[in-house]
Structure 1
């Protein structure tokens, strides 16, 4: 079963994501709306300024017609002065039909810049290129009529900067309001993000509590999508609890590695098992039938449990797995279900440790006036099948094959306190891990047509003997 990986802690929180998303949408919307309104406002403002100038210049043309007719320059200056003072006009002038300046006040275009064919045009103040914030002059012209005769032109000069001053102030206010609105939207988006993400955060914390075993379900009840998710998680949690209880129960009957392997192989596709290269150890208590006849069943149980505990400690130290207990016999597998590159040597070293441990126990038993316990051990290595074996109603994880059968036969052939291995196993171990063996011989084993060459193992190399002696002390002291 694959377990989903926990999300990275470097990712943005949901609150931050919601806030950013809402702010981005709001900002884009406000920019589009502001741009649209600003463009319309500029066009409307320019139109109003143009109409304002046209009205003023027309009024001035009417007001200066009589003084121009009678060459009353003083009256002309009075009229132009009143327009400059009262109507925010930058300049005023009267030109003849030949573009000659008759009267002028304020800022004015040169005669060559007078375009009598245009009623309105613009002249930049600082540059030829105009944009929204450049200063430029608006030139308005209107013919001065005396009856049906055109006697000249009235010219008004309006400063765009002066005429749009109020508009720029409004624009500044709009920008300030936009900034304030964005701040309000950001705070609102943050609060909304928290309201949306807090239930999810609570759900994440609750699932972590379930994973750590602090709670077994989420008590919250909601009538929305999150509530449906809580119900689904609670259902899943009950399944996980059942699985954990099953694993805990299996660990009482099987080693941890075997229990994990069984859980992983619940899928029918994997029921066929897998071929492995492993080593099997069979250890049998010699004369156990006679011993059991002299003691009570309770004492038999106590004796077996005590020695099985010791054997399990020896197996764990050398990465072995207790496959099963068969009466007074124990079967230990090395290299399966957990891979072990040195399973051959570990099996032999475990057997030597078991024999030495039993001898140390016998010394203690002799002082207590108890009968000795002796072991015989057979070991073999080779190809075997590891997997679930049994019926549909009851199965167990084990290894099977000819190599396993031979290990059992060698155990039966062994004598008291003897460890028997097959010749090929000795050849695999000896080059890298020197061991002391004796009594090379060939024997005929039941189920085999040809004789089998065997060795009797006595001990490991000297440095490893010291390690084993210290380990026996720890096992007897209950520290392993």
Structure 2
């Protein structure tokens, strides 16, 4: 913008200077021609009558004009009849022209500098007969000086206007580019995840409307992020991600899958809750459900739901997992070992111990959204799920129960013992169940590492006692 303004002002200055020069040159020529024609008209008759006195009066009077540096009257043969001031050296051929013409020439001034002069020569005629010629000499240096002065004035004016235009362009560019720079920085902050960024500038122009729209967008993104975070706490994160990624089709497609379901129930919870305050019951459930959720995620499972004091976990539901059965058993062993370690701390603190009974089953089930258009949940249903719940109810405290088919499938990788055979409503044949003791040594290293991760996430004993006292 500044470059365009400078080029525009420079072009305008050159145009005005050129017009000024042309105007001054035209005025000088018009003045010289007028003076020469007037002198020729007055001198034509005295030339014919050879009235030298009259001729001298004409040149003398003309020489009194300060603009005229010289005047001369010549006979038709080029002989000088009367003159005043300076005269150029002209040949007789210069006086043979039938029209007025200008003759430029130079002379040295007293200070040695050259001075440009112009002599205007015109024929003097009387009644159609050429009597002679007259010449008027003017200084072109004065015109040159006036031209230089006019050019300088135009140059200075152009520079002043250019400077003013540059300052104006700079101010406009700052007014336009600086807010855009702020908007770019705020956009980068949004990209980095800083959704609390706002542009606190009040403007009543289009950029102000843009700032307002950006702030509204940032507020909407922040609210959306908060909703997603809250939503992810009410359902599994993987389920939340899939739902949020398909907002146009909220109802996830129901599909039959092969998966494993784990039910973990706190034994004696009803009797325990009668001895605790409601806030203590809530704190206990939140603590252990948090442990179960972390243990589930370590083995690639998802929390299907929390039912009272029972947690339902699913493995191999949202993502393909060919080892979902073993991952579910490993998660169950991790939960029991973690509960045992936590019970040691609870006994030391004088708090009641918490024991889990766990039932696991794998098989065909249907995964999808169940519910109405107003409220739905993503879950798994089927006979395999019902059997896992029944196995959980058959388990004793600190026990993990699986059916015989699952034990047979995982026998080389788990340590278990046969328990008994239980009848299942709706099934003609009873179901043999096994109690999982541990997993094979190949999985022990991962199990111990995961157990340490969960223990490291625990608050210190001193802090926990302070919370309990409060």
Which of 413, 423, 443 matches 1:436?
Answer: 413
What's 1:57 paired with?
Answer: 36
What's 1:183 paired with?
Answer: 163
What's 2:372 paired with?
Answer: 391
Give the CA deviation at 1:272.
Answer: 2.8
Which of 122, 128, 134 matches 1:142?
Answer: 122
Identify the range of structure 1 (45-54 vs 157-166) with the bigger mean alpha-carbon deviation. Answer: 157-166
CA distance in 1, matches of 2:138, 2:426: 121
What's 1:171 paired with?
Answer: 151
1:66-77 → structure 2 map (5 Å cutoff): 66=46, 70=50
CA distance in 2, matches of 1:350, 1:124: 113
Give the CA deviation at 1:206.
Answer: 11
Give the CA deviation at 1:391.
Answer: 1.1
What's 1:272 paired with?
Answer: 251
Query: In 2 relative to 1, CA 175–142 (structure 1 residues): closer, same or farther, beyond 3 Å?
Result: same
* Contact 2:302–2:314 (CA under 8 A) maintained in structure 1: yes
Query: In 2 relative to 1, CA 455–423 (structure 1 residues): closer, same or farther, beyond 3 Å?
Result: farther
What's 2:27 paired with?
Answer: 48
1:359-391: CA deviations, max 9, x gaps?
3234445665956613425365999755x5421
* Contact 2:334–2:447 (CA under 8 A) maintained in structure 1: no
Q: How big is the alpha-carbon RMSD for the aligned residues of Structure 1 and Structure 2?
A: 6.1
Q: Which segments of 5 or more consecutive residues in structure 2 lack a partner in the other structure?
A: 107-114, 462-470
* Contact 1:122–1:136 (CA under 8 A) maintained in structure 2: no
CA distance in 2, matches of 1:198, 1:366: 65
SS in 1 for 2:355: coil
Give the CA deviation at 1:173.
Answer: 0.8
* Contact 1:96–1:153 (CA under 8 A) maintained in structure 2: yes
Tell me whether 1:253 sits opposite 2:234 in the alignment. yes
Query: In 2 relative to 1, CA 329–422 (structure 1 residues): closer, same or farther, beyond 3 Å?
Result: farther
SS in 2 for 1:282: strand
Q: Which has the larger radius of gyration?
A: 2
Query: In 2 relative to 1, CA 327–166 (structure 1 residues): closer, same or farther, beyond 3 Å?
Result: same
What's 1:309 paired with?
Answer: 290
What's 1:458 paired with?
Answer: 439
1:359-374 → structure 2 map (5 Å cutoff): 359-364=340-345, 373-374=355-356
- The TM-score with structure 1 as length reference comes to 0.61
Q: How many residues get paired?
A: 425
Identify the range of structure 1 (255-264 vs 48-57) with the bigger mean alpha-carbon deviation. Answer: 255-264
1:232-243 → structure 2 map (5 Å cutoff): none
Q: Which segments of 5 or more consecutive residues in structure 1 lack a partner in the other structure?
A: 1-19, 126-134
* Contact 2:183–2:211 (CA under 8 A) maintained in structure 1: yes
SS in 2 for 1:86: coil
CA distance in 1, matches of 2:95, 2:315: 109
CA distance in 1, matches of 2:289, 2:169: 66
